[in-house]
Structure 1
């Protein structure tokens, strides 16, 4: 019960199993698919990490800017944010809006930008209104 039948000269004449070698072909087709799936998983993890860092930076920047220290808020957000992130601090009425956006893996994924916005009360306006007695 070998793989080959012996011919008249003792050499293999024909294959008994037509599926011999199919495992090799299937493995050769499967490996690139596994590599692509692994790359997509790593890209997803990178996007998640970038999103979390943007959210943390925006939250910290909004907290400090809301207390009246805008330069410290921008500096703290820049330290926490991913490399190459853009930071925007806006005062809208009684609130401070801080938006941090960045590209995952410093731009390796084209067209993908992660962003987070945090809002905090402008405590300087609130304390001034409270101390001045002006109704809000």
Structure 2
């Protein structure tokens, strides 16, 4: 008895080398583009987190400086607090009006158009000299 097998060609090419055509290396290019996009998104997220942290640092620095000035400490001491707590290169503006002191702290940000800044107000403690006017430190 003789058995014969019928082979039907469905248009499939058994030579795998010819099926690739011009797609050779496309996965590498797509991976490189995807990696660049991922790095860019990560950089923007990191810059946003840094801006948020700078905002919190300005808020803390303004509050501490306002409390120090309300207790009667000199403005130089408040500026030292701001220098220690706020981001590098921050500016402090003090405004004394009646029995309150207003401190504004602002800093530069890594993101364009974003300026971390905060204000804090404190009532002068009893016995602390009252004044009016503004001074920048």
TM-score norm. by structure 1 comes to 0.71
Matched residue SS, 1:55: helix
Residue in structure 2 matched with residue 131 of structure 1 by the alignment: none
Which of the numbers 96, 103, 110 marks the counterpart of 1:98? Answer: 103
Q: Distance in 2 between matches of 1:58 and 1:127?
A: 20
Residue in structure 2 matched with residue 112 of structure 1 by the alignment: 114
Q: Whose helix proportion is higher, 1 or 2?
A: 1
Shift of 1:46: 1.1
Alignment size in residue pairs: 116
Shift of 1:74: 2.4
TM-score norm. by structure 2 comes to 0.70
Residue in structure 1 matched with residue 125 of structure 2 by the alignment: 123
Q: Distance in 2 between matches of 1:15 and 1:47?
A: 51
Q: Distance in 1 between matches of 2:74 and 2:129?
A: 17
Q: Do residues 3 (structure 1) and 22 (structure 2) align?
A: no
Shift of 1:81: 1.6
Shift of 1:30: 0.7
- Structure 2 gaps of 5+ residues are 1-13, 131-137
**CA spacing shift, 1:78–1:17, aligned 2, 3 Å:** same
Q: Do residues 46 (structure 1) and 55 (structure 2) align?
A: no
Q: Is the 8 A contact 1:94 1:125 kept in 2?
A: no
Q: Is the 8 A contact 2:65 2:81 kept in 1?
A: yes
- Structure 1 gaps of 5+ residues are 5-13, 129-136
